Structure 1
C-alpha cells in the first residue's frame, strides 16, 4: 500500500515521539505472540462453564481485564509492565477460544478465521499508511513495509491454495488477485531493501 519512495522528514514529529512510536510498533508486533498462543490453548479448552453462568463468567473476565489494565498502568515505567502487558494479551487470546471453537465448527470456519485475520491486517495496513501520510515517520514507513511484505506473502499463499483447491475457477480473477499481491510484495520489499541496503552517492 505504501508507494512513497522518498525518505520522510524526520522533523515532522518531536524526537521523543519517534521513540515512542517505534517502540509501540515493536511491542504491538510482540503482543501478537502471546495472543496466538493464548488462542491456540483457548481452542482446546472446555468453556461450558461460561455457558452455564454467563453473567458470572462475564464478571470474572471483566475483573481480570480491568485488574490487568490497572496493574499495567501502575507499572508502565518498569519492565514488569511489559510482562503484565504480555499477560493481558495472552488472556485476551485465551478469551478468543469460544468464538474460534464456534467458527472452526462451521464448514468454512478455517476460511472465515483466515479471512478475518487477513482483513484485520489489511485494514491496519491501510490505516497505518494513511496515518503515515499525515505524520511522516520514517520508522512507521519501515514498519508498514515489513507488515505489508508478510501480509502479501500470506495472500499469495492463500490465493494459490484457492486455485489449487478449486476455490477460484476464473483465471482472470485469479491472475488479478495474485498480481496485486505480487506487485505490493515487490514494492514493499524494494522499500525495505532501499532503507537497509541502499547506498547513497
Structure 2
C-alpha cells in the first residue's frame, strides 16, 4: 500500500515536469527559428545596428514585459517580440562578418553554440543531476560580468575582450545547466520564463564565440 501511495503522488509531478520540458523546447525551437528569420531580413535589408541605447532599452523592456506576462497568453507574443528584437540586433553583426569574408567564422560559431547547448542539456537530462548549487555562483558571476561590461567601454585591449567573451560563455553554459536542472527537478513550472532564459544564454554564447573567433582572425 505504501508503494502504491508513493507512485500516485509522484506520477502527476513527473507528467507536469515532462510537459514543462516539452513546451520549453518546442517554444525555444520556434523562437530560434523566428529570430534567425528576423536576422536574415535585417541582413537582406541592410538595416543599421540599433545602437547601444536602443539595444539596452529594447532588450530589458521586452524582458520585463515577458516576465510580467509569463502567466498569460500574452506571454507568447512577448517572447516572440523579445527574441525577434534580439534577432534584429544580430543581423548587422553577422553582416559585418560576412562582409569581411568571415562566413566560416559565423558557421563555426553556430556549430559551436549548438554543440555546447545540446551537450549541456543532454548531460543534465541523462544524469538527472541537481544543479541548484550553481545558483550562488551565478548571482556572483552576474555582478562580475556587469562590472566588466561597464569596463569594456573604456578598455579596448583585445585580451580583455577575449576574457570577457570567455566568461560570458562559461556563465551562459552554467545558466543552461541550472535552468535545465530546475525544470527536471520541478522548480521551474513556467515554460515561457524557461524559454527566455535558455534563449538568452544561447544568444550570449553565439555572440561571444563570434567575438573570440573574430579576434583570433584579427578582424
Matched, 1:84 2:84: no
Question: 2:18 maps to what in 1?
Answer: 18
Aligned residues: 120
Deviations 1:47-100 (CA, angstroms, capped at 9, x unpaired): 27x5xxxxxx31221111111111111111122110110111111010002211
Moved runs in structure 1, 4+ residues, more than 4 A? none
Matched residue SS, 1:45: coil
Question: What are the equivalent positions in structure 2 for 1:1-201 lying under 5 Å apart?
Answer: 14-43=14-43, 44-47=45-48, 57-107=51-101, 109-135=102-128
Matched residue SS, 2:112: helix
Deviations 1:110-154 (CA, angstroms, capped at 9, x unpaired): 2211111111111111111111122299xx9xxxxxxxxxxxxxx
What TM-score results when the alignment is normalised by the length of structure 2?
A: 0.49
Deviations 1:157-184 (CA, angstroms, capped at 9, x unpaired): xxxxxxxxxxxxxxxxxxxxxxxxxxxx
Q: Distance in 2 between matches of 1:126 and 1:46?
A: 34
Q: Distance in 2 between matches of 1:36 and 1:46?
A: 15
Question: 1:151 maps to what in 2?
Answer: none
Q: Which has the larger radius of gyration?
A: 1
Q: Distance in 2 between matches of 1:116 and 1:80?
A: 33
Q: Distance in 2 between matches of 1:68 and 1:99?
A: 21
Matched residue SS, 2:71: coil
Q: Distance in 2 between matches of 1:110 and 1:103?
A: 6
What TM-score results when the alignment is normalised by the length of structure 1?
A: 0.54
Matched residue SS, 2:53: helix
Question: 1:172 maps to what in 2?
Answer: none
Deviation at 1:45, TM superposition (A): 2.6
The Cα RMSD (Å) is 2.4
Gaps of 5+ in 2: 1-9, 130-179, 185-219
